[in-house]
Chain A
Amino acid sequence: MKLTLYHHPLSAAIRDAVRIFSRMGFDVASGPEIEDEWHNFTALNVPKDHPARDMQDTFWLPDGRVLRTHTSPVQIRWMKTHSPPIRIIAPGKVFRNEATDMTHEAQFYQLEGLVVSEDTTLAHLKWVLETFFSEFFDSAVEVRLRPSFFGFTEPSVEVDMRMSGESAPQKLRDRWIEVFGAGMVHPYVLNNAGINSKKYRGFAFGGGIERLCMLRWGIDDIRVFHDGDIRLTSQFPSK
């Protein structure tokens, strides 16, 4: 008798994201969870003593290294070792020194993406996001961009999405939901990663994978993802 295979929702979400982005020609990149300050902040144009560093509460190691607060350092590492054109996603565990509650965890998974070439534009970013969300949520999805600020992008935007149609979960249908941050890669960041900012331009985007799972499957407490409880996985049978 063939047993049913069950998926941990994070693994399933990452698998879906990899599949969707692979079809768009993206590599899957990974990097260390302990990072040095340069890769996690400085290279990403988040200088020392700047309020922008307050946006992320950081776990520090005694030797000055940090637990990475985002998977953006992976993008720097990839750019330093690969020439454009570049298309990568970097799913991975990140850490924030924050009190835990239903929507906040000290460790969670981020999905970041990066595209760099001679003719990448904000218009392409919109398309990539629309395509990803509509396939991931298997629904008609609109995307809208609002001005924001991140040290590593300029322009920077918040990404909202809205699902519509029968296949969209009832609770979310026709509502604008904030999902990702994104923007055009800042020239200093390209420069720090050894890429000629005069010749190349690119965009980056990112957000929490747990959040995507919570939206897709109606999970309401972020803490269930990492507490090692088999009652989570047992609810997600394979196709």
Chain B
Amino acid sequence: MKVSLSWLQTFFETPLPDAEDIKQVLTFGAFEVEDVEGIGNDVVFDVNVLPNRAHDCLSHRGIAKELSVLLDIPMKRDPLLDQKNSCVCIGDLSVVVDDSNACPVYHAARISGITVGPSPDWLVKRLETIGQRSINNVVDATNFVMHELGQPLHAFDTGKLSLRDGIVSLRVRMARAGERIHILGGEEIELSERIQLITDASSEEPLAIAGIKGGAHAEVDNATTDIVLESAKFHPSLTRKASQILKIRTDASQRFENEIPDELPAQAMQTLIELILEVAGGKQIAYSYVQRQMPKLPYIVGFSSSEVNALLGTQLSDEEVARILQRFGFEFEIVRDPRAKIVDCARSAIGAQYKRLARIRFDTPESFNCSSLTSWCAIEAGYSFGIARIAIDQFAYLDHVDEKDALPGDFVFTNTGVVQKQDGVMYSRVLDTIVQDESIRTQTLEFLPGTDIGHGVDHVGVYVGDGKVIHASSSAGEVVEELLYESKGFSKEKWYRRVVHSNESRFAVTIPYTRLDLRLPSDIFEEIGRVYGYKNIPAKQLPPRELVPESNEVFLCSEIIRKTLGNLGFLEVYSYSFRDVGKVLLSNPLSQDKAYLRETLAGGIADDLEKGEYHASFLGLQSVLLYEIGTVFHSNEERVHVCVGVRSLDSKNRDSRSKEKLLEAKEALERVLGINLDVQIGDETFEFDIERAISGKKLWSTDLAGVAPGVVYVAPSSYPHVLRDIAVWVADGKGDSHTVLEMVQKSAGDLLVRADLFDTFTKDGRTSYAYHLVFQSREKTLTDHEINDIMEKVTVLLDAQEGWQVR
């Protein structure tokens, strides 16, 4: 995402550091800066915003906030947090949302009496600097606010809507099969029931593809005098799927896909209205909104500084942790006496209503159920239970304490034995699935799901000392304080669990609505870590481990095979798992000839032998010896196979030589592994299943070494090589194979990549040395002509040596 330095500067009184410093700070504290470009007298950063921060950092405000935290400088303005906008429906504007899940928030504002025209210079500059085109003052304003705050916005021309009795009415609904829309830019799009639309309620006309692209029908143009602004939230997965189906991806759809906070549309709308009035004039005459119920309480995350240090390996004090939290501007409480806090919270809840499906953020403090009460008391005291929400999970999560040792602030659990009528299902965010609602569970639900708690647990309360408990009682219909031995709810067996273990202070941090990613203590620890600076955490050695490592039989066997075959001159190859035949088909292969997973290795090895034969002379080999160890795929299982391949290059005895070598390999493997290999030796290959072959055998680690030091790979030329032979008679005493080789290499030059002596014999006082020569260029295919020239040159130079004669 493109971000302008001077735009960022508008959030600060203090001058920001220079571009290079900002790049470093962001890259090592938040997001990688991929590019820094000077545009005019501004600088533009291309920031790689991480997927989990797309909801708040695809905006200049978001990046400014990051800089504020990382550089420890205050922001002079924060349009999202400085004040909360209260929204009031006024005037004649109707918004109807069919599905509040698909469209959780929709705000509309009508501005009348505007003049559409070119934007002021400052606005054009802001947009053009980050690569956006200026269209007109209204469209530019929506684009500006999106890049300022991260909220996608849209404007409709009221004049093109069908008013009913002068009232503008919008309806957010799913499209019908076959419905069509002309989008901005002219294209006509066919819609389906999976696409959400903004429509004109009176005429049913589609006005925009929700969250993705506006329609041409109500496009704002130079004649527009009255507009309806949209600031909304659309369901992330729905928007993502629609974007994929339509193959339309926009700045808007990108932001909705990553989810934006419920509260953002209202805040951004205010900024947009002010800007429109400033650049286009007019007056706001109506406002309407529909939004799903929002939580009353913010999210709170609880932890201690020792827990921070336990994860990061740091040694931060409470003060240092507090300092970092302050840089973020988080509201937080340092709870010095968590036990007392738990008891006080429980006390303050006495008289609140019992509500079976109470949720902490929505119902506190008016109503509770047993587990929401205890969770809430804990979180207020700085203890996040995270995954453990319902009573039985809290029971499993917390540590046991004997009744005689119970202290105020401990929790007391029981199985009431009263089966309440349960119905329906709920969604577990932790498990990412729907779960059945049950009254008396004997297994945990989300914390280490399925853990057996034989006696079952269905109720929990806060022990407050003197034999008393405070709990949300379904029979009493409210939160009560009672003596345990008098309590109907706790008449059966009881078990105590401890929340507060030590005297240390706890942090209870309030998470601003802008941060959807901060929900667990580890999320906060990441914030603390990156601000503290990972470079400031010194490495710490792992203690030595006493246990004997478990052996991996297939790996051990593979290494033994590598050593055995390697010592016989075999070369290991790895080849593709994808082939054009097999039992297991891929739904989305790379290509049609790679649509199956290989059922054997032999097919690949056969190809490799062919390739190997061609390269053998380049490598000076007499035969191609290779093997592969890899996974093959049968219709119902995968197995690890070994396949050995041999192709002898002895033209007279090819088949028998190949078979000989294969047999040699097989026998060597059998001997070393102490097994009998039940395999068919083919013409050029044999293959077997490792686990079946070594079944039951105890294997030992080999002492197979590594690659010699100093090896540097040289990529072979991609051009073909040319072969020639040369033989020279050398009179006794006038030279040997080394001097001949040296002269050949010198005279042939760099294009000679290999020379191998293949024949020597002596007769009548002179010795003949014969060499296979391999020529290859790194730049082109060599012609016979060029090689002939070189050979001639070599011949001449060799013949010129005293006592030498080329044959």
Contact = CB atoms under 8 A, between A and B. Distances in A.
Interface of A: 2-3, 5-12, 15-16, 18-19, 22, 24-30, 32-34, 42, 47-52, 55, 59-62, 67, 85, 87, 93, 95, 97, 100, 106-107, 115, 119, 121-124, 126-128, 130, 138, 143-149, 154-158, 169, 184, 186-188, 191, 194-198, 201, 217-221, 224-239
Contacts of B30: 147
Given A51-B54, A124-B313, A146-B28, 16 more contacts: A8-B572, A8-B573, A19-B706, A26-B549, A51-B258, A122-B313, A124-B539, A144-B535, A187-B387, A217-B711, A226-B575, A228-B607, A230-B612, A233-B573, A239-B705, A239-B708
A24 B588 CA distance: 40
Contacts of B448: 191, 194-196
Contacts of A219: 713, 715
B412 to A, nearest CB: 20
B432 A121 contact: no
B649 interface: no
A155 B529 contact: yes
Interface in B49-73: 50-54
Nearest to A59: B586
B27 A146 contact: yes
B434 interface: no
B640 to A, nearest CB: 9
Given A124-B313, A126-B539, A233-B573, A51 B563 contact: no
25 contacts: A2-B567, A5-B566, A9-B707, A25-B545, A42-B432, A47-B432, A61-B584, A61-B586, A121-B311, A123-B314, A124-B541, A124-B542, A126-B540, A143-B539, A147-B50, A154-B526, A187-B522, A217-B711, A220-B715, A228-B608, A229-B573, A230-B619, A238-B566, A238-B708, A239-B707
B760 interface: no
B539 A155 contact: no
Contact of A30 (B50, B258, B552): B552
Contact of A235 (B309, B541, B624, B711): B711
Nearest to A194: B448
Contacts of A100: 590
Contacts of B32: 146, 158
Contacts of A231: 615, 618-619, 716
Contacts of A59: 586-589
Contact of B624 (A155, A194, A230): A230
A121 B310 contact: yes
Nearest to B613: A230
A236 B241 CA distance: 49
Which of A145, A217, A228, A231 has its CB near the most chain B CB atoms (within 10 A)?
A228
Contacts of B31: 147
Interface of B: 27-32, 50-54, 236-237, 240-241, 257-258, 309-314, 386-387, 397, 430, 432, 446-449, 520, 522-523, 525-526, 529-530, 534-535, 537-542, 544-545, 547, 549-550, 552, 554-555, 559, 562-563, 566-569, 571-578, 584-590, 597, 604-605, 607-608, 611-612, 615, 618-619, 624, 626, 628, 630-631, 633, 638, 704-709, 711-716
Contacts of B241: 49
Contacts of B707: 7, 9, 12, 217, 236-239
A142 B203 CA distance: 67
B588 A60 contact: yes
B706 A12 contact: yes
A199 B707 CA distance: 42
Contacts, number: 278
Contact of A127 (B309, B539, B624): B539
A138 B709 contact: yes
Contacts of B313: 121-124, 126
B51 A218 contact: no
Contacts of A198: 397
Contact of B545 (A85, A156, A232, A234): A85
A165 to B, nearest CB: 14
A119 B542 CA distance: 10
B573 A187 contact: no
Contacts of A124: 313, 539-542
B588 A126 contact: no
B535 A122 contact: no
B50 A148 contact: yes
Which of B586, B608, B626 has its CB near the most chain A CB atoms (within 10 A)?
B586
Contact of B312 (A2, A119, A121): A121
B520 A187 contact: yes
B335 to A, nearest CB: 19
Contact of A62 (B432, B577, B587, B624): B587
B604 A29 contact: no
B704 A15 contact: yes
A138 to B, nearest CB: 7
A3 B564 CA distance: 12
A226 B631 CA distance: 13
A84 to B, nearest CB: 11
A195 B31 CA distance: 31
